[in-house]
Amino acid sequence: MPCPPPLPQVTVSRLDLPEAAGFEPWQDPPTASQRLFFAAMSPIALFWPEAPDDRPLHSTLSNLLPTFYRPGDPGTARGFALHPFLPVLVESRSGGAWLGWTTDASEFELDGLPAGPYRARALDLFGRVTYASGFYVRAGSTATLATRLWAKVDLDEPDSREVMGFVRWENGLPAEKAIVIMQNSYNFRKLLKRVETDEHGFFRIADVPSGEPYFVFALPPAQNEAMRNFEHFGVPSRLREVWRELTLHPHQLTGVVADSDPKPSLQLVRINPDGERAIWSFHTDSSGRFTIANVPHGRYRVQRSPDGGGEPNRSLPFEVGDWQSAITVRWTSP
């Protein structure tokens, strides 16, 4: 008697679940905790292929910078969600996910978390998922979410999209009260927003139209005279959340230009093996002094092109590297 033909293999993924398909995956395939969380909305999630909760990060996304980790005792995350006795999903940028439950006071707490950045999302009574909120766990301490998990994703709203992420210093620690500015690349009237990061370095920009090009940059706290390190990206219609990760640098350049011009125009020039390129233009104050913050590592000089042409006035080359909070620019001639 002939054997019956084998049943066809069916691959089920998060793309089959609209509430999950619109979120940028931090782990792929989903972990057991992620499966259980989304199974509360649809049994389809029970058929997703499963990866270990503690496996290393493997992602095809390239728009988030590597995470810096600090050894030490595990930390704790605490926050509030929409309703009591409902699941909360906490995901690590380094890989792995944790599933917690809210108490009768709608509070959740998860311990044993390694140091690093995380995001958390929750469900409401009708199985609708919330936008994520980001937080940073330090070794041996408790991180309390500054933003409650209350902003629900409206799948029927075509422009219900948010851009969010972390601003961190180059050593990996969160940058609190940093200013994040996001603008439409073609027309600032379509979108121009300015937000401030919380204590975890987390920022959120809501009501972002999809299908448009944007750029975003961060400024150090109380430092308007700073380099803008632009990040260009688009917001695809298939995603409800778009995550960006921005880096700030603690290095500052200071100097004086002795000139009769009250505010001479200058350029910061980066010196590369293949040549020199002006990367930032700025002005001095009325006394000829200048300060530039948020300067990345590298080899530089400052130059001023005189009015009417001629050879520019160029500073001596200088290095910007680790452990330098302030660098004084020196000139070959006054």
Domains, the chain, ordered by start: 8-156 (2.60.40.10), 157-248 (2.60.40.10), 252-328 (2.60.40.1120)
Question: Which segments of the chain have a pLDDT < 70?
Answer: 1-2, 4, 6-10, 54-72, 158, 259-264, 306-311, 333-334
Query: What per-residue confidence (pLDDT) applies to 166?
Result: 96
Tokens of 195: 């937000």
Q: List, in order, residues 6 or more apart from 54 with CB less than 8 Å away.
A: 95, 96
CA distance 160 to 23: 12
Query: What per-residue confidence (pLDDT) applies to 308?
Result: 56
Beta carbons of 23 and 15 less than 8 angstroms apart: no
Query: What per-residue confidence (pLDDT) applies to 196?
Result: 96
SS (H, E, C) 129-186: EECCEEEEECCCCEEECCCCCCCECCCCCCCCCEEEEEEEECCCCECCCCEEEEEECC
For the entire predicted model, the pTM comes to 0.85
CA angle in degrees (0–180, nearest 5) for 322-326-329 = 110
* SS3 call for 47: helix
291-309 exposure pattern, b = at least 16 Cβ within 10 A, e = fewer = ebbbbeeeebbbbbbeeee
Query: What per-residue confidence (pLDDT) applies to 279?
Result: 87
Query: What per-residue confidence (pLDDT) applies to 304?
Result: 83
Tell me how crowded residue 32 is: count the other CB atoms within 10 A of its CB. Answer: 14
Query: What per-residue confidence (pLDDT) applies to 176?
Result: 95
CA distance 6 to 87: 38
- CA atoms within 13 Å, Cβ hemisphere of 167: 29
E strand intervals along 175-320: 179-184, 192-196, 202-205, 213-219, 231-234, 241-248, 252-256, 265-272, 275-283, 289-292, 298-304, 313-314, 318-320
